Every structure is written in structure tokens, then in C-alpha cells.
Structure 1
Amino acid sequence: MNFTIEIDTNNYYKLEKKMHQTPARLCNNLQRITRNLSLPPTICFHSSSIHPENHHHDKPPPLPPPLSHQTRYNPESQNDLQSFSRTLIASPNRIHKLISSQSDPLLAKEIFDLASRQPNFRHSYPTFHTLIIKLGNARQFSLMEKLLSQLKRLRYPTTPGLFSRLICIYGDAHMPEKALKMFYSIVEFNCNPTSKHLNHVLSILVAQRSFLRPAFDLFRIAHKYAVDPNVKSYNILMRAFCGNDELSVAYKLFNDMLKREILPDVESYRILMQALCRKSQVTKAMDLLDDMFNKGFVPDTLSYTSLLNSLCRKKKLREAYKLLCRMKVKGCNPNLIHYNTVMLGLCREGRAHQAIKILDDMYLNGCLPNLVSYRTLVGGLVDQGMYDEARKYMEEMISKGCSPHFSITHSLIKGLCTVGRTEEASEVLGELLKHGEVPYIGTWQEVIPRICEVEEMEGLDGFLDEVIKVDIKPYTRIIEAGAALEEYLIKKIRANSGKF
């Protein structure tokens, strides 16, 4: 026996909203109603009954058999029956909306299955799409794949976006085999794979070195699936082979791209230039840069960074500075990284006086030096014994709120003490204390004995006053310096006592 239950169209949307807020009652209500009312398993749902234009033309549905006395007057059963009537939704669009709003994918699947049991009910493709993605994101792969099989069996027209998302889901789950299999099975869903699908799969495969060859094989047979690799496809493989120390294969791919009249982009050149720089083949990398200029490309900042780094490592500092000046002419303004790279290269090679020129160029081009810039320059000047210049730029960096590294200040103060400029070393130390900088304990040990040796005790008292003014913090080493000073003075007193 089949029962037909009509839905009150006037209250339909209000009741559906209430049901949407408490979807967990959906299955429980059905189970309790079937058990309490002993309803037959087959219940007909007429989707047309919810439309007002059809409501008045249909014949009144047959009434259900009279309820038993116990059920009729059982408040719980009456409520269950009313709840059951409210939960009947025959519109595929409403089912899709309800499933889309569920944060729990398993609950969304229960709603899907419940609606599927309605006679003559057919889910829409958006419902399949939404639920498959929900299950995939939740790593419910067995349920997801069963739903995919059902989608294929029902021969729904599918969209490429579904498979793009599924391939990415398998990639995020570190399942490259599944991603590759998904690509091959796209045609089984009456859908043609695209270059976007190919690139997604290639990116997932090359992320693991053991799948580099399968990725290359897929790349070579992609045309059998009516997929033409594009410049991004080539870039993915070129980067992978360069990372695998197979630069020759990457070059073959680059040349093959030109043969197929696929125009390389800035990334294509950068991939090869970076690989050449890592191999210390900076001359070939510069040739590629010239080729880019000839083809009208504007190299990006990463390309210039790689070239400048490589030139500085190869001690081709003149070429590095020329490239730095050439950048702005070619439409790419140098940034902090570019300036600091060349400055570091100059200072490492004992050419700190030229690094000062780099700092001046930064100001002229509207690029403000940062902490790294000053630390690099001051350190290079100290190493070359250019103490006056080093002191000047150290004071400048402190005035701009940049904290000098203790190794730089120690080197400067120690250098000044070594050449007998103890007073200037004391002034540098006082400047550090004035700005709340904590000198290294070795710096105190370098200055204080020299002050004591020349018997400038008044100067020592002045230092102690400055020390007291500095706030004591957890990382402050002033206490350690005080202990060292005490130990030194005790030794000095004992030594002087022995003379009498």
C-alpha cells in the first residue's frame, strides 16, 4: 500500500527553514514514525504538489488508513507525524541548497541518501558536485568515489571544474597515483581533460622525485587525450628537472617549446637562469638575460636577484654594479635585496669604500637602507680599519632606530682601542649606553682595563654613572660586566699592594 502525503505550501518555506536548523532530526523522525505508525516502506512524494498552480487541479489525495487509538492520541506520535510531513522536500534545488549549507559532510550524505529514496526523485548535477567536493575535502574518499561511480553510471553531463578540484584534493592528500588516475578517467564522464587538468597533475607528480618520470610520460602522451601542453606545463617540468640536477633535460624542453612555437615567458627564463647560477655558470645566465631583452621581456626581481648573487659569489663585482645600474634603465627598479646583495659582495672583498656609493645610490633612487644595509656597511668599514666612517654610519643607523649587532660595535670599539684611540672608543660606548644598547661583555673588558691603565679614574666613574642609567633587562649583560670590573679592580689593588 502506498501513501501520499501533501505538503502545506503556505508553510513550506517556513517549515523548511526550521528543518534546516535541526537536520539531525530528519532520519530520527523517519525511523520513529515508521516504527510507531507501522507505515509501509514505500511512500510516494509528489513534487508537483508543492506548486500552487498545480494544487487546485489535482484530485485530493486518498486519505491514509485511520490511526489506531493509541497512536491517534499519542502526543509524541502526533508530533512525529507533523515533523515527518514538514521534512518532505521534493525539489532538487532545495535539496542542493540544504546539502550546500551543511558543515558536516556525513550529515550532508545522509540527507542525499534520504532524498534518493523518494520515488521518481532525481538529484541535480550541482548536488552531486557539491557533495563530492565536501566528501573529498573531508578525506572521505571511499564515499566520494562511490558517489563518483554513481554519477558516471547515471551519465550526468559533468563540468571540468569538478575534476580540477578532485585532482587538487588528491594532491593535498599526497596521493599522486589517485590524481593521475583521475586525469585518465575524465573521459569516462563524457568530459574532455584540459591543459589546466594536465598542469594540476604535473605539479602534484613532480612534487615527489619518484614521480618525475611518470610526469614526463604523461606530458609526452597528453596529445592522445586532445590536450596540448602550454608554457606552464613546460615550466613545471623544467623546474622539476633543474631541481633534480638534470639541467640538460630542462634545456631540451626549453628548445622544444620554441620549436612548437610556444613563446616562453619570464618564468621560463628565470628557471634556467637560476639553475645556471646554482651551477656557477653565470656567463650563460647573462646570455639568457640578453636574449630576454632582445625578445622584449622585462626580467622580474627574482631573476635579477639570482644573477647579482651569482656575480658577487664569482667576485665579478664590476659586472654586478653595472647590472644594478642597468636594471632601472630596463624597467625594473632595484629594491633593498638587490642593493644589499651588491653591498655585501663589495664588503666581503675589502671594497667597503665602494659600498658607501651603493648606500648613496639607494637614497637617490628612493630606496631607504634597512638594518642589513647598515650592518653590512659598518662591518665592512671596520674590517678595513676605516673607523671614522664606520663610527659615522653606526651613529646614523642608531639615530634611525636600527640596532647594531654586538659583533659590529665590539669590532669598532676594539679596533679603536687597538690603535690607541681609547677616548673615542669610550665615546662610542657612551653613545651605545645613551640609546639603551647593551654592550657585549667583551666590549667592557676591552675598554675598562685601558682606562684603568692610563689612570683615568674620573672617566671610569663617568662610565659607571652611565651604566646605572641603563634599565636592567633579562638579557642585559651589564651585571656580568660589573662583576668582571670588580674582579679586575681587586687584582689591580692587590698588585699595587705588593709593590709596597
Structure 2
Amino acid sequence: MIRRPIHNSSAASRLLTSPISLFFRFLFSSSSENNTHEPIVSNQNPKSPFGSPTRVQKLIASQSDPLLAKEIFDYASQHPSFRHSQSSHLVLILKLGRSGHLNLIDDVLAKHRSSGYPVTGELFTYLIKVYAEAKLPEKAFKTFYKMIEFNFTPQPKHLNRILEVLVSHRGYLQKALELFKSARLHGVMPNTRTYNVLMRAFCLNDDLSIAYKLFGKMLERDVVPGVESYRILIQGFCRKGQVNGAMELLEDMLNKGFVPDRLSYTTLLNSLCRKTQLREAYKLLCRMKLKGCNPDIVHYNTMILGFCRQGRAMDARKVLEDMSSSCCSPDSVSYRTLIGGLCDQGMFEEGKKYLQEMISNGFSPHFSVSNCLVKGLCSFGKVEEACDVVELVMKNGDALHSDTWEMIIPIVCKEDDSEKIQRFLEDAMKVEISGDTRLVDAGIIALGSYLSSKRQMKRMNVRERRRL
């Protein structure tokens, strides 16, 4: 049982008999009873009824209820001989912010200021983090000026984090620019990241001219741009369809000794291909190797697609063959794009060759690839070659589209087989053909086996007639 001490009726006496007081006394008296043989911790304040600041900090941090944590903090603050640690203020700010009790944070800040502790950047880092998570750009914006109010000069990292919060809300772009301009007046020097945050935001907002002016200011103020700075602008120019301006930036970048990253090259290759500047795109692809950035599968596939779209499948084939010299192997997208391009130009024999290569390299062709080949070969009367494609795909255990079956069945089978074929076909059509269909249902396997046996019989008959 907890005894309530008899004191006078002063305010201090009333505080010590409050529920929080009883909570503290119970907590720490229980702790001392359970550890009677342990020495007294040296950092405890003998005048404080609730132990050391570290102990109170742990108690605040352990509370799941942020309002109870705030009540404990306030109660301890009222004792004249107790002084909270800086960490207690930080923990409580984060706890209140994450629980949505933002109106109580200013009170904690005021107590921190009056406690005599020096104001640190960590305190405001926590505060900005709270407002960022709560999606409160206006509060984040005002935090910059609150730092100045506390006689603390914001660091570039604080400026950058506030700008990131502001630009993530479309309506705060101008406020971000306003803060950027006033930062220098308060002794905060923007760095490369500061400019990058703003340039990216204005490029995405379709304000390329402002982003480019910021890049110019960056150079004027001797802030060294990085690879990311150039990439942001290159992407901005390409998004606007100004690929020549993007290429000029690449040249400037290379002249200053920067090695462009893969994403910059990918952006440029995409834009050049869309602008049908395929010669320039291929030259850029070759130039990558000389500048220390080996092309990867994305770069090669971009070029293959670019050539195929312009009806230059033979050039696309050369790109695929060049891949081996860069130790980069084609993937299923490379083959699918190339075969589609060859079919579009009526080069079905070439397409069939690359289908065989694709399967031999362990890739499963999408049913659209085989359908395109079969349809093209049949239209030119090359029935045997079309059947070869069907058999090749079936042996690999891949699906054929219903259109493919409808084209090939009448060619291989006789009229008197119609009932049997209809039964197989009904089973085959039970399989739902989708974009990722790979394995063939038992009904389709039966149909494929039947068609294969019919082809073998036809071939035997042809050989027999030739012999006679």
C-alpha cells in the first residue's frame, strides 16, 4: 500500500499527491525494493523524486499513449531540481507528431528553449520529419523561420529537406523558390542537392526554362553540378522533345570530365529513336563504350525497337549480333521485337531462324510471335515451314493461339478427320490464353501429337511416291 505523506497545503504538496506523482513513486519505489542489493546509480539526482533524466526519458519513450508521455514530461518539468535531457524533448516531439498531436509540439519546443540547452540541428531535423510525414508543407516551410527565431542558423541539409517537402506538393513550388531565394539572406548557402531538388521539380512541372535558369545560377555561384544535375536537365529536355538541347548538355558534360550514367544514355536513346534520328542513336550507342559506360540490355533493346519501328529490321538484327561484343546476351524482349520487325517486312524465314535461336537459348516465345510467323508463312504458301514453327513451339511446351490452330488445322488434316479434330480443339480451347501463358494443357498436347503424326504420314507418302 502506498502511503500519502502529510505536508502543508502548498502547490508542491498537491502535485506530489497527484495520480502522476503516485505513478512515479510506485514505479521507482518498486524498482528499489526489487534491487535492494544494488548500489545507487551515480547519475541519479538525489533531490529528484523520480530518478535521473535518462530514466525519465526511457519512461516517456516506453509509453504507447502519447498524451500520457506528455503528462509525465510536464509533471517532471515542474519539479525545481529536475531537468529533462535533450533526448526527452526529441523523443516526445516525434511521439506527438506521429500520433497527430501537432498542437502540443510548440509547447515542448518552448520548454526546450527555456531549459537552457543549446538548440541543435537534430531537434529541427526531427521537427521537419514530423511535418513531412504528416504532409504539412506549410508547417515545414515555417520551420525554417522558427530556426532563425531560435537563433540557430539552418544547415543546407535542413533547407534541402524542407524544399523536398514543399516540391512534393504541387501548389508549393513557388514557395519553394521563395525559400531558396531568401536562404542566402539568412546565411544558408545552397549546395548541389538544393539545386537538384528544385530543377527536378520544375522539370516535372513542365517549367523547363526555370530549371535551366537554376542550372545557370548554379554555375554562376561556383556550385559544382553533378552527374545527377545534368541527368535531370537531359530528361527535362527530352520530355519536351528538345533532343538537340539534351545532346548539347551531354557534350558539355563529357567536356567537363563527367561520365554520364546509364539512365542519361537510356533517356537520350529513347528520344533519338522516337525522333527517328536512328543514325545519331546508333552512334551514341557505340560511343558509350568509348566513354566508359558499357551498354546494357535496356540500351540494346531500345535500339532494336527503334530500328524495327522504322522498318529497318536488318539493322536491328545487326544490333542483336553486336551485343555479344559487349558481353550482353539478348533476352526474350530482344528476340520478340526482332522477330516482329522481320515479320512486318515479310522476312519470315529470317524470323523463323531467330525463333529457333530464341528457343535454343532457353526462352519461351510468346504466342503472338509464333502466330505472326505461322500467319505470314501460310500467306506465302510455305505450309511446311509454318508446320515446322508449330512443331517447334509444341516441342518446347509452349502455347499456341487459337488463331494459329484455325490456320494450321485445315492445311494438315483431311475432311474425314473433322470430328476427331473438333474434339481435340474443344479441349484445347478450354485453356485460357493470356499474356503469360506458357504450359500447354493435355488437350492441346493431344492435338499437337495428332497433327505431328499426320505430318509424318504425309511425309512418308511423299517419299514413297518419289521412290516409285
Identify the TM-score tier after normalising by the shorter chain. 0.7 to 0.9
Q: Which residue of 2 aligns with 1:400?
A: 361
Q: Contact 1:269 / 1:292 at 8 angstroms: preserved in 2?
A: yes
Residues 298, 280 of structure 1: alpha-carbon distance in 2 compared, 3 angstrom cutoff: same
Instruction: For residues 404-446 of structure 1, give each alpha carbon's deviation from its aligned partner in whole angstroms, at most 9, with x where no partner exists.
Output: 2222211110001011111221121122222221111111111
d(CA) in 2 for partners of 1:400 and 1:97? 61
d(CA) in 1 for partners of 2:335 and 2:423? 29
Q: Which residue of 2 aligns with 1:123?
A: 84
What do you get for the CA RMSD once the two structures are aligned? 3.6
The reply to whether residue 441 of structure 1 matches residue 402 of structure 2 is: yes
What's the secondary structure of 1:198's corresponding residue? helix
Q: Which residue of 2 aligns with 1:30?
A: 22
1:150-169 superposed matches below 5 A? 150-169=111-130
Identity of aligned residues (%): 50
* 2:272 partner amino acid: L
Q: Which residue of 1 aligns with 2:253?
A: 292
Residues 383, 370 of structure 1: alpha-carbon distance in 2 compared, 3 angstrom cutoff: same
Residues 32, 354 of structure 1: alpha-carbon distance in 2 compared, 3 angstrom cutoff: closer
Q: Contact 1:359 / 1:369 at 8 angstroms: preserved in 2?
A: yes
* 1:329 partner amino acid: L
Q: Which residue of 2 aligns with 1:308?
A: 269
Residue 2 of structure 1 and its aligned partner are, at CA, apart by 4.2
1:198-209 superposed matches below 5 A? 198-209=159-170
Unaligned stretches of 5+ in structure 1? 4-25, 35-48, 62-86, 484-500
* 1:145 partner amino acid: D
Q: Which residue of 2 aligns with 1:359?
A: 320
Q: Contact 1:273 / 1:288 at 8 angstroms: preserved in 2?
A: yes
The reply to whether residue 335 of structure 1 matches residue 296 of structure 2 is: yes
d(CA) in 2 for partners of 1:272 and 1:33? 63
d(CA) in 1 for partners of 2:44 and 2:174? 62
Residue 218 of structure 2: which of 254, 257, 277 is its match? 257
* 1:116 partner amino acid: S
d(CA) in 2 for partners of 1:139 and 1:383? 60
Residue 268 of structure 1: which of 229, 243, 251 is its match? 229
* 1:169 partner amino acid: V
Residues 111, 371 of structure 1: alpha-carbon distance in 2 compared, 3 angstrom cutoff: farther
d(CA) in 1 for partners of 2:120 and 2:94? 13
d(CA) in 2 for partners of 1:391 and 1:270? 40
d(CA) in 2 for partners of 1:300 and 1:326? 13
Residue 157 of structure 1 and its aligned partner are, at CA, apart by 1.3
Residue 187 of structure 1 and its aligned partner are, at CA, apart by 2.1
Q: Contact 1:128 / 1:147 at 8 angstroms: preserved in 2?
A: yes
Q: Contact 2:307 / 2:316 at 8 angstroms: preserved in 1?
A: yes
The reply to whether residue 410 of structure 1 matches residue 371 of structure 2 is: yes
Q: Contact 2:25 / 2:49 at 8 angstroms: preserved in 1?
A: no
1:141-290 superposed matches below 5 A? 141-290=102-251
Residue 254 of structure 1 and its aligned partner are, at CA, apart by 1.1
1:72-87 superposed matches below 5 A? none
Q: Contact 2:43 / 2:52 at 8 angstroms: preserved in 1?
A: no
Larger radius of gyration: 1
What's the secondary structure of 1:334's corresponding residue? coil
Residue 344 of structure 2: which of 370, 377, 383 is its match? 383
Residues 383, 150 of structure 1: alpha-carbon distance in 2 compared, 3 angstrom cutoff: same
Residues 381, 457 of structure 1: alpha-carbon distance in 2 compared, 3 angstrom cutoff: farther
* 2:395 partner amino acid: K
d(CA) in 1 for partners of 2:56 and 2:180? 41
Q: Which residue of 2 aligns with 1:318?
A: 279
More divergent stretch after superposition (293-302 vs 141-150): 141-150
d(CA) in 1 for partners of 2:288 and 2:431? 46
Q: Contact 2:282 / 2:303 at 8 angstroms: preserved in 1?
A: yes
Structure 1 runs of 4+ aligned residues shifted over 4 Å read 26-29, 31-34, 49-55, 101-104, 455-461, 463-483
Residue 398 of structure 1 and its aligned partner are, at CA, apart by 2.7
What's the secondary structure of 2:190's corresponding residue? coil
Q: Contact 1:195 / 1:230 at 8 angstroms: preserved in 2?
A: yes
Residues 93, 464 of structure 1: alpha-carbon distance in 2 compared, 3 angstrom cutoff: same
Q: Which residue of 2 aligns with 1:112?
A: 73
* 2:115 partner amino acid: L
d(CA) in 2 for partners of 1:336 and 1:481? 34
Instruction: For residues 120-168 of structure 1, give each alpha carbon's deviation from its aligned partner in whole angstroms, at most 9, with x where no partner exists.
Output: 2111111111211222223221222321222233343121122123213
d(CA) in 2 for partners of 1:358 and 1:168? 49
Q: Which residue of 2 aligns with 1:426?
A: 387
d(CA) in 1 for partners of 2:127 and 2:264? 34
Instruction: For residues 316-347 of structure 1, give each alpha carbon's deviation from its aligned partner in whole angstroms, at most 9, with x where no partner exists.
Output: 11111111111111111111111110110011
Q: Contact 2:375 / 2:404 at 8 angstroms: preserved in 1?
A: yes
d(CA) in 2 for partners of 1:456 and 1:297? 70
d(CA) in 1 for partners of 2:416 and 2:122? 81
What's the secondary structure of 1:123's corresponding residue? coil
* 2:22 partner amino acid: L
d(CA) in 1 for partners of 2:164 and 2:44? 54
Q: Contact 2:20 / 2:75 at 8 angstroms: preserved in 1?
A: no
* 1:391 partner amino acid: K
Aligned length: 415
Instruction: For residues 363-415 of structure 1, give each alpha carbon's deviation from its aligned partner in whole angstroms, at most 9, with x where no partner exists.
Output: 22121222211111111111122222211222232333433222221111000
Residues 429, 151 of structure 1: alpha-carbon distance in 2 compared, 3 angstrom cutoff: same
* 1:330 partner amino acid: K
Residue 471 of structure 1 and its aligned partner are, at CA, apart by 12
d(CA) in 2 for partners of 1:335 and 1:123? 57
d(CA) in 2 for partners of 1:54 and 1:446? 89
Residues 162, 425 of structure 1: alpha-carbon distance in 2 compared, 3 angstrom cutoff: same
Q: Contact 1:336 / 1:369 at 8 angstroms: preserved in 2?
A: yes
* 2:397 partner amino acid: G
Residues 31, 165 of structure 1: alpha-carbon distance in 2 compared, 3 angstrom cutoff: closer
Instruction: For residues 6-47 of structure 1, give each alpha carbon's deviation from its aligned partner in whole angstroms, at most 9, with x where no partner exists.
Output: xxxxxxxxxxxxxxxxxxxx958927999xxxxxxxxxxxxx
Q: Contact 2:60 / 2:92 at 8 angstroms: preserved in 1?
A: yes
Residue 182 of structure 1 and its aligned partner are, at CA, apart by 1.0
Residue 52 of structure 1 and its aligned partner are, at CA, apart by 7.2
